[in-house]
């Protein structure tokens, strides 16, 4: 997808299909080196054993990451029954149990986990307790008590059931959920709900907001593009405001762009629909100039300004 930038450098979004192995931070570090820029961030952590959609934001796009963090996510999860895990996933110490569910009991239990539920995050998580990471406390042998919190499971469907090993049946689940949901905890709770135990054996994120795996880039493709220099990477970038279509677009005149660059409220000649959470203010060329809020009386207040005053002087 072609990309329009308001200034020099690489500004936009790379939607990467993260492989199993590297951390999300590793992917950011790689992109930072390939793009020769320090302004790189990602839109939601994936554990090293997980793969799938990882939006990476470069340059001016890092200013809008916060608007993506609450996006719903979709996953394909492999849930292994017949044992619990200290980490709620395949990397922890496993403790076998005798009882395992059958397919029909699993299918009967899934609807009860759809909707808003209370979920206790895994002890091995990055949540801070009195200033310390929970996983660090757990690794040190300390007891970690994390409070339950509300999350929303929008969809939870059984994709496949494998009972080849009757003592260790495996379910493949498609999950669509709110940000902040731990799929590891969902696997653990599903096992407990069925009077058994379960842990997460594999995880693939298939979507993050409007970014899906079908449009994600393999790391090798990103490396190959970077071999041609910044122009090679630039053609892979999605626009800075991609994925923010829920914010109505407002086309600005050159004079209005200049006012926004100075942080001034504007009364757009083109008008704008009322009642939106925020608005995307676009230059006459269609590039994102700012994110704004409704200031009332027909005016918009720039919130995140991405265009420099000198660029439109």
- Catalytic positions, please? 47
Cα gap 13→283, rounded to integer Å: 19
Cα gap 286→277, rounded to integer Å: 21
3-state SS class at 73: strand
Cα gap 170→172, rounded to integer Å: 7
Count Cβ atoms below 10 Å from residue 297 Cβ, excluding itself: 7
Cα gap 58→42, rounded to integer Å: 9
| Whether the Cβ atoms of residue 35 and residue 58 lie closer than 8 Å to each other | yes
Cα gap 123→142, rounded to integer Å: 10
Cα gap 87→110, rounded to integer Å: 22
Tell me which residue has tokens 């470069």. Answer: 58
């Amino acid at each position: 997808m072609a990309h329009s930038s308001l200034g020099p450098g690489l500004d936009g979004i790379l939607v990467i299909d993260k492989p199993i192995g590297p951390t999300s931070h590793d992917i950011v570090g790689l992109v930072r080196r390939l793009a020769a820029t320090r302004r790189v961030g990602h839109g939601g952590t994936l554990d090293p054993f997980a793969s799938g959609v990882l939006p990476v934001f470069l340059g001016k796009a890092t200013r809008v990451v916060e608007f993506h963090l609450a996006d719903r996510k979709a996953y394909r999860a492999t849930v292994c029954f017949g044992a619990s895990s200290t980490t709620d996933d395949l990397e922890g110490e496993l403790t076998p149990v005798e009882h395992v569910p059958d397919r029909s009991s699993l299918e009967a239990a899934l609807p009860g986990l759809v909707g808003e539920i209370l979920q206790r995050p895994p002890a091995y998580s990055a949540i801070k307790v009195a200033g310390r990471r929970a996983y660090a406390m757990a690794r040190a042998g300390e007891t970690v008590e994390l409070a339950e919190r509300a999350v929303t499971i929008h969809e939870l469907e059984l994709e496949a059931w494998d009972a080849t090993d009757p003592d260790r049946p495996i379910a493949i689940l498609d999950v669509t959920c709110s940000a902040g949901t731990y799929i590891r905890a969902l696997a653990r709770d599903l096992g407990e709900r069925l009077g058994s135990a379960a842990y997460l054996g594999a995880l693939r994120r298939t979507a993050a907001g409007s970014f899906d795996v079908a449009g994600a880039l393999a790391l090798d493709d990103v490396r190959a593009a970077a071999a041609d220099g910044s122009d090679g990477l630039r053609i892979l970038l999605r626009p800075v405001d991609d994925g923010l279509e829920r914010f109505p677009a407002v086309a600005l005149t050159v004079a209005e762009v200049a006012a926004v660059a100075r942080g001034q409220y504007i009364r757009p000649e083109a008008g704008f629909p009322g009642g939106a959470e925020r608005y995307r203010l676009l230059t006459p060329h269609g590039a994102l100039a700012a994110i704004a809020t409704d200031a009332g009386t027909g005016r918009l207040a720039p919130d995140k300004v991405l265009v420099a005053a000198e660029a439109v002087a």
